Structure 1
Amino acid sequence: MGDSAPSVVVGVDGSKAAVAAARWAIDEAVSRDIPLRLVCVIEAPESQRTGDRRLAAARSALQGARRAVEEAGQPAKVETEILWGKPLAGLLEESRSAAMICVGSIGLDHAAHGVGSLSASLAASALCPVAVIRHPTGRRATARVGRVTVQADNAGALRHAFEEARLRQAPLRAIALSGSAGPDDVAKRSAQAQLRRRIARWTRQYPDVRVESAVVRGSVDDYLAAHHGPDQLFVTDARGCYDLCGAHNAGTSVLATRSSNL
C-alpha cells in the first residue's frame, strides 16, 4: 500500500507489455536493494461471479509476471498483491512510497478503454519517477536498454539519465533542441556551447558512462519519431511527458522524473 516500505512497483495486468516492464524493473530493485512489488489493481465487480473472474485473472497475471522475473535469475526480492479500485488511483497511491513505478504502456492503455492514456496520466501525476516500457509486438519481453537519451534542459532528468546509463551499461545521448535552419547558425552554436556546459558536471561525476551530445532541429516528438527504437530509454521531466508516454509515441520507452523526488 501507499504507506509501505520503499519498493519498485510494477503495474501488472496480464499483458506482454506488463511482463516486459517487470523484467525491466528487476535491475532497478536489485540496485537499490529493495523489493520488487508486482501489483494488479482491479475494479470492484458488479457481481460475485464477475469478481471471481477478475480475481482469477489477476492471480494468473501476477503469477506470469513473477515467473518471468524469477526466470531472469537475479536476486530480486519479489512481492505480489491484488488491490481493488481504479487502476490509475491505485497506482498513484502506490507512488506515495515507491522508489519508482514501472508499467507497460500497451496493456495499461488498453485498460483505459480509449479514454486517454492511463500510463501517460500516471507518469504526469505520480509522486515518484515512472517508467513506461514499450514492448514491440512479436518480441520476447526483454530488459535490455541499448541507449539512454535525455533532453538536457533539466538537471533532474540529466541525473536520472546518467544513473540509468550506468545501471544499464548503455551509452547516453544528450540532446538540445534548435530551430535553426543551418549548421553555422549563431543560435545553434550557442545551443551547442550551452549543452556542453550542462552535461560537463555529469560527465565528471559519471566518468564510466559513454556520452555523446547533439543539437537537433524540431521538437522532441520529431526527434523520437526519427530515432525511435525498442531498446531506447528517453528520460524527461514529468511536466512535459504526457504525449511522450501516450499514444503519440509508439516506439520508445520513457522514464518520467519529478523534481520533488530527485
Structure 2
Amino acid sequence: MSTVAHTVDNREIVVGTDGSPCATAAVRWAAEEAALREVPLRVLLAHDTGPRFGGEPGLHPEQVDAILDAGADAARRVDRDLDVRPQQVVGWAVPALLNAAGGAGMLVVGSRGHGGFASLLLGSVCQQVASRAPCAVAMVREGVHAGPVVVGSDGSEPARGALAVGFRLADERHAPLLAVRAYYPPTPPLGYGYQSLVHAVGDLDQATADRLAGDLRPWRQRYPTVRVDTAVVHGSAAGALVEQSRDALAVVVGSHGRGRVTGALHGSVGPHLLRHARCPVMVTHERQRAAVT
C-alpha cells in the first residue's frame, strides 16, 4: 500500500509588497497562510533609491517606512499575534525575492503593482520568480476567492509536489480539492468508424482517470477529511485550468525548476495561467515533493 512521508514545513513565508492594492491583497493572503501554519511572515519591499525604469523617481526613506508599516499593519489585522518581520532591500525585485526565498517555505507576490514590483507577474519577472524560486510561489489577485483548490496533475514527479501543496492548502482552508488531468486524444486513421472512435476515446478516458486515481490514493489517505473530485478533459491544460480558476480558491501546478512549467503544463501554459487565472496561482518545485513509497 502506498503511503506518504509527510514533513511539516515550519519555515517563514515571504511576501513582496510595494504598497499597491494588489500587493496589500497578497500580504493579507500570505498572513492568512502564515497564521494557519503558525510561522513568521516576512514583508519585503525591494526598491531603488535612484530613478527607476521609465524615469520614475526612487523611494525616499519616509516612503519606504510608510509602505512597510502599512504592509505590517495589514498582516496584523489578519492575526494580531502573527510574527511579522518587515524588511527593505535596495535593488531589483527578482534577486531580492529569490534571495529571500532561499530560507522560506513559500514566496507570495501580487499579480500587479507599482514601484519595486511593477508588473511583477506580467512579464519576465513573473516567469523568473515562478521558475527559479527554491520554494512554492503564490501569485495573488485582488478579490474574494472561494471554491476548490484546483491541482494540475499530469503524473510527473513535479506534479506530486503540486499534489502535496494542494492537499495541504485544501486541508488548512477546509476546502475541497479538484485534480485536473488534460490530454489530447490521438487522431484516428482514415476510415476509422465513429463508433469505434467513441469506444477508443472512452477507454483512454477511463485509463487516464484510473491513473489519476492511483496518484491521488496516498494523498486521500494522508488527508481523509479533504473532499476530492477529479476531472479528465480533452485538449489544453492551460485552457482547462484557467476555466476552473473562475470558481476556485487557488490553482496549483508543478515546475521542474528549470525555467518551464512541467508535463501537461509545458510550453506557454505556465505564463498563460499566471496571466489569465482568476484566482491565486501556486507554482511548486520538484525539490519540494514529498516522498511516496
Tell me the TM-score range normalised by the shorter chain.
Answer: 0.7 to 0.9
Check 1:35–1:230 CA distance in 2 against 1; reply closer, same or farther (3 A cut).
farther
Q: Look up the match of 1:133.
A: 140
Contact 1:157 1:235 (8 Å CA) reproduced? yes
Check 1:116–1:257 CA distance in 2 against 1; reply closer, same or farther (3 A cut).
same
Instruction: Give 5+ residue unaligned stretches, structure 1.
Output: none
What number of residue pairs does the alignment pair up?
Answer: 249
Which of 43, 56, 64 aligns to 1:58? It is: 64
Q: Look up the match of 1:23.
A: 28
How high is the TM-score relative to the length of structure 1?
0.84
Q: Which moved more, 1:167-176 or 1:104-113?
A: 104-113
How high is the TM-score relative to the length of structure 2?
0.76
Q: Look up the match of 2:14.
A: 9
**Deviation at 1:78?**
0.6
Please give the alpha-carbon distance, in whole angstroms, between the structure 2 residues aligned to 1:230 and 1:64: 30
Which of 194, 199, 212 aligns to 2:229? It is: 212
Tell me which amino acid in the other structure corresponds to 1:131: A
Q: Secondary structure of 1:107's partner?
A: coil
Q: Secondary structure of 1:106's partner?
A: coil
Which of 115, 123, 139 aligns to 1:116? It is: 123
The 5 Å alignment of 1:88-167 reads 88-107=94-113, 111-112=118-119, 116-135=123-142, 139=143, 145-152=146-153, 153=155, 154-167=159-172
The structure that has the greater radius of gyration is 2
**Deviation at 1:26?**
1.8
Q: Which moved more, 1:107-116 or 1:230-239?
A: 107-116
Check 1:229–1:65 CA distance in 2 against 1; reply closer, same or farther (3 A cut).
farther
**Deviation at 1:38?**
0.2
Please give the alpha-carbon distance, in whole angstroms, between the structure 2 residues aligned to 1:176 and 1:250: 17
Q: Look up the match of 2:274.
A: 246
Check 1:104–1:202 CA distance in 2 against 1; reply closer, same or farther (3 A cut).
same
Q: Look up the match of 1:85.
A: 91
Deviations 1:11-55 (Å, cap 9, x if unpaired)? 0011111111111112332233321110000024159xx45x443
| Cα RMSD after superposing both structures | 2.8
Please give the alpha-carbon distance, in whole angstroms, between the structure 2 residues aligned to 1:227 and 1:39: 31
Q: Look up the match of 2:179.
A: 174
Question: Percent identity between the aligned chains?
Answer: 28
Tell me which amino acid in the other structure corresponds to 2:211: Q
